[in-house]
Structure 1
Amino acid sequence: MDALSTKGQLDMARNVHDMGSINKMREAIASGDETVLQEAAEQFEAIFVQMMLKSMRKAQDALADEDSPFNSQQVKFYRDMHDQQLATDLTAGGGMGLADVIVKQLGQTEESYTPASVIRSDGNLSSLNQHRAESISQAQNVALSSHAMGSKSAHKEAMFDSPEQFVESLMPHAEKIAEKYGMDAKAIVSQAAVETGWGKFVIHSADGKSSHNLFGIKANSEWKGEQAVVDTLEFNGLVPQKQKAAFRAYSSIEDAMDDYGRFIATQPRYSDAVKAAGNATEYTQELQNAGYATDPHYANKIMSVYNSDRLNALIPQR
């Protein structure tokens, strides 16, 4: 009898603008009345219907005559109140069936419905993003692994024993290039660190000779020097794919730095990067915009190294 009384009170109070209906629901929940689940599900469905009606009204408003007396703010106010009550009344009469699904799911009254406590978390975006990041990282590690490249072709292996040696070897040459082209030496070293993993993944020929290619510059038709064909990681959107590509090979770090500066300064597509060469953030972003790399996070990765305590601790204070 108590349950029937509660249900009757809720039915009588199904006015969306009557806060008393919400209070009655709270009282029913507090008393342990399980029948209130149906009412809560119907109100949730009503909210869903309200959202659909609101979207439809917005589409209608976009085409409405602004000078029409039926398009005034006062008319819209009462129209929205009517839509809210209409949604509540529609769901009370059976609605679209969403309320019934919610009751069966949460109430666990039928064996054919999976309990809400074990529903899979498809909506956990952070988990999905983490999984995607891990997948990309694994693909990078496989593609950059010398073991995966094979011993009979060009491959990538360490050229420096430590990050300290990497920075110490590159910084003097980077400073010369920076002075010559108005660039930021620290940004140059940061880019090389991203391209080679702090010198751990530098292209070497089959006989173990280093290419000294610190910036991932490919051997296009204009390149007349030595080259090395190696597996590399290219991004198709956010999906990494391993491909074969020919890269330029140099006899020394100095030659690699000189070619990098000349390559950026003379290529028309990097003209915006040259203009912003004095600002590391703008420079790296313009490199990415010009298609220097297919990685959609290329500029952010360079600036992450640029601003890292690791690099700043290794650069000698002058």
Structure 2
Amino acid sequence: MTSVVNQSVFDLAELHRLTSAGKSRPESLRQAAVEFESMLYRQLLKSMRSVNELFAEDNPLSSQRTRFYEGMWDDQMAAVMARVQGAGLTDVIVRQLSSAPNQAPMMKKGLTSLMPAQAVGVIEKKTPLSPVSSRKQVQQPKQTSTLPESPESFVRWLLPVAQRVAAKTGLPAIGLIAQAALETGWGRHMLRDLFDRPSFNLFNIKADQRWSGPAVKKETIEFDGARMVKVPARFRVYENIEHAFEDLVSFFQSSPRYGQVWQAEKPEQYFEALQSAGYATDPKYAQKLKAVIQHPAIQQLAENLHRNTQD
């Protein structure tokens, strides 16, 4: 174990030994598998460092130099973890890619392989899978969410939740959907977290001192009194769109300056209340929201809602 720990990831001789080994198996295959597992550990550590950077903005101990040495340390740790302990991935890769004759009986017994049976000289008889084994092999991870791809699908996506919020709070459903459309570009420009998952932050609410949940740091455009400028800011991350709507209501309830939004009966009144309360720094925020409700997708929604109230 001592020799493995003392082995430096920056030792170029190690790379030379790997390339010199050529196709001598199984030594070169196992060594390559270890390097591959080490790469996965490096990606994991890099993602963890990225999360930590959100809290290091004002840290005097955080600098470009410290991040450089942290990266070197992470590379070394990844190499040690792959060689000393590992998650068993090395053995899996070696077993799947090995063409040794003693692997054939294992494949005949039904163990899966990344290589076709014919590639290793084994001819397997195809037999139907049992119901249990079929479920195990085709089972896929659950999809978190399918984001809408058009204004019409965006409206249909938000409508049920917006109507429930409107019935409970009195806020206009069309106004809420139009606000989410403006803030996210009909869902196409929704903020995403560090793992490229949707934040579901439909209303681009910032993560201030009142927020204790997850957040993502992005550049946003603010009006500084003279012109629009880009500034970094932290935004809240939600579990789903229901959570986003609930937090918007809580956001309004937590500040007296949003008292006028509860008096709004029409979308236009809701937009003016947002503008007066300073929800956005853009002086044309209400004007832009009024333009959004003229979109055919919103107009069709308004007609459908009006028709339902008449029935």
Q: Give the TM-score normalised by the residue count of structure 1.
A: 0.48
Between structure 1 and structure 2, the one with the greater Rg is 1
